[in-house]
Structure 1
Amino acid sequence: GTTPTQSGQSTPAGDETTDAAARTIEHALGSTEVSGTPARIVALEWPYVEALLAIGVQPVGVADVEGYTRLVNTEPSLSDDVTDVGTRAEPSLESIIALEPDLIIGVQFRHEALYDTLSDIAPTVMFNPYAEDGEQLQRMEETVLAIADAVNKPDAGVAALEVLHDKIDSAAEQLEAADVTGAPFVLSQTLIGDTAQIRLFHENATAVQILEAIGLENVWEAGFEDLGFSTVGLEVLPGVEQANFFYVPSEDITAVSFEGNPVWDGLAFVEEDRTYNLAGAWLLAGPLSGQVFIDLAVEALTGEAMATGETPASDSGPRSIEHALGTTEIDGTPQTIVVLEWTYAEDLLALGIQPDGVADVEGYRAYLNIQPELADDVVDVGTRQEPSLEAITALEPDLIIGVQFRHEAIYDTLSSIAPTLLFNPYPEDQTITQFDEMETTFMTIADAVGRVDEGTAVLEEMQAAFDEASAELEAAGQGEQEFLLVQAFTAQESPQMRVFIDSSMAVQILQAIGLENAWEGEFDVYGFNTVGIEALTEVDDANFLYMVQAEDDVFANQWQDNPVWNGLAFVEEGRTYPLGGDTWPFGGPLSAALLADTVVAALTE
Structure 2
Amino acid sequence: MTHLPGGRRRAVLPTATLATALLLTACGGGSSEATDTSEAAAEESTVGTAFGDVTVPADPERVVTLAESALDVSLAVGVTPVGTTASRGGDTAPAYLGEDAADIPIVATVSEPNLEAILEAQPDVILASAGLAQDQYDALTAIAPTVVPDTATGGDWQEPLHTYAEALGADDELTAALDDVTSRAEAIAEEGSLDGTATVLRWMANGPVLMNAALMPGSLLQSAGAGPVEAAQLGDRPHSDPLSLENLAQVDADRLFLAAFGADGTGALEAARSQPAFTQLEAVQEGATTEVNGSVWSSASGPIAADLVMDDIEAAVS
1:589 is matched with which residue?
none
Residues of 2 paired with 1:76 and 1:160: CA distance?
A: 20
Residues of 1 paired with 2:293 and 2:233: CA distance?
A: 26
Structure 1 pair 110–209 and aligned structure 2 pair: CA distance change class (3 A): same
Residues of 2 paired with 1:33 and 1:243: CA distance?
A: 48
The reply to whether residue 285 of structure 1 matches residue 285 of structure 2 is no
Report deviation, 1:182. Answer: 1.6
**Contact kept? 1:242, 1:269, Cα under 8 Å:** yes
Aligned with 2:231: secondary structure? Answer: coil
Residues of 2 paired with 1:274 and 1:190: CA distance?
A: 17
The reply to whether residue 104 of structure 1 matches residue 126 of structure 2 is yes
Among 229, 235, 245, the residue aligned to 2:246: 235
Report deviation, 1:207. Answer: 1.6
Q: TM-score when scaled to structure 1?
A: 0.42
The reply to whether residue 191 of structure 1 matches residue 212 of structure 2 is no
Report deviation, 1:32. Answer: 0.6
The reply to whether residue 266 of structure 1 matches residue 285 of structure 2 is no
**Contact kept? 1:63, 1:84, Cα under 8 Å:** yes
**Contact kept? 1:44, 1:63, Cα under 8 Å:** yes
More divergent stretch after superposition (212-221 vs 236-245): 236-245
Among 58, 72, 96, the residue aligned to 1:73: 96
2:257 is matched with which residue?
246
1:209 is matched with which residue?
219
Among 229, 234, 238, the residue aligned to 1:219: 229
Residues of 2 paired with 1:121 and 1:259: CA distance?
A: 51
**Contact kept? 1:72, 1:289, Cα under 8 Å:** no
Residues of 2 paired with 1:71 and 1:220: CA distance?
A: 31
Larger radius of gyration: 1
2:310 is matched with which residue?
294
1:89 is matched with which residue?
111
Report deviation, 1:110. Answer: 4.2
Report deviation, 1:100. Answer: 0.9
Residues of 2 paired with 1:27 and 1:288: CA distance?
A: 23
Residues of 2 paired with 1:154 and 1:110: CA distance?
A: 22
Residues of 1 paired with 2:140 and 2:131: CA distance?
A: 15
Q: Which runs of 5+ in 2 are unaligned?
A: 1-38
2:14 is matched with which residue?
none
**AA in 1 matched with 2:111:** A
Report deviation, 1:229. Answer: 1.4
**AA in 1 matched with 2:160:** T
Report deviation, 1:300. Answer: 1.6
Aligned with 2:262: secondary structure? Answer: coil
Q: TM-score when scaled to structure 2?
A: 0.77
**AA in 2 matched with 1:188:** L
Within a 5 Å distance, the mapping from 1:99-138 to structure 2 comes to 99-128=121-150, 130-131=151-152, 133-134=154-155, 136-137=156-157
Report deviation, 1:147. Answer: 2.0
Report deviation, 1:150. Answer: 1.4
Structure 1 pair 271–76 and aligned structure 2 pair: CA distance change class (3 A): same
**Contact kept? 1:247, 1:276, Cα under 8 Å:** yes
Among 24, 33, 46, the residue aligned to 1:24: 46
Report deviation, 1:271. Answer: 2.8
**AA in 2 matched with 1:248:** A
Report deviation, 1:132. Answer: 5.2
Within a 5 Å distance, the mapping from 1:51-70 to structure 2 comes to 51-64=73-86, 67=90
**Contact kept? 2:213, 2:233, Cα under 8 Å:** yes
Among 178, 182, 191, the residue aligned to 2:195: 182
Structure 1 pair 39–71 and aligned structure 2 pair: CA distance change class (3 A): closer
Residues of 2 paired with 1:61 and 1:121: CA distance?
A: 14
Report deviation, 1:242. Answer: 4.6
**AA in 1 matched with 2:85:** A
Structure 1 pair 36–70 and aligned structure 2 pair: CA distance change class (3 A): closer
1:158 is matched with which residue?
175
**Contact kept? 2:69, 2:161, Cα under 8 Å:** no
The reply to whether residue 146 of structure 1 matches residue 163 of structure 2 is yes
Residues of 2 paired with 1:300 and 1:69: CA distance?
A: 30
**AA in 2 matched with 1:186:** T
**AA in 2 matched with 1:78:** A
Aligned with 2:123: secondary structure? Answer: coil
Structure 1 pair 98–274 and aligned structure 2 pair: CA distance change class (3 A): same
Aligned with 1:180: secondary structure? Answer: coil
Please report the RMSD computed on the Cα atoms of aligned residues, expressed in angstroms.
2.5
Residues of 2 paired with 1:237 and 1:62: CA distance?
A: 37
Report deviation, 1:202. Answer: 2.5
**Contact kept? 2:199, 2:253, Cα under 8 Å:** no
**Contact kept? 2:198, 2:228, Cα under 8 Å:** yes
Residues of 2 paired with 1:49 and 1:242: CA distance?
A: 33
**Contact kept? 1:51, 1:287, Cα under 8 Å:** yes
**Contact kept? 2:43, 2:59, Cα under 8 Å:** no
Residues of 2 paired with 1:107 and 1:278: CA distance?
A: 25
Report deviation, 1:72. Answer: 4.8
Structure 1 pair 151–279 and aligned structure 2 pair: CA distance change class (3 A): closer
Q: Which structure has more helix as a fraction of its residues?
A: 2
Residues of 1 paired with 2:178 and 2:129: CA distance?
A: 21
Aligned with 2:293: secondary structure? Answer: coil
After superposition, the C-alpha distances for 1:122-177 in whole angstroms (9 at most, x for unaligned) are 0001124x55523x23xx2x33332222122233232222222233234434xx1x
2:3 is matched with which residue?
none
Structure 1 pair 171–24 and aligned structure 2 pair: CA distance change class (3 A): same
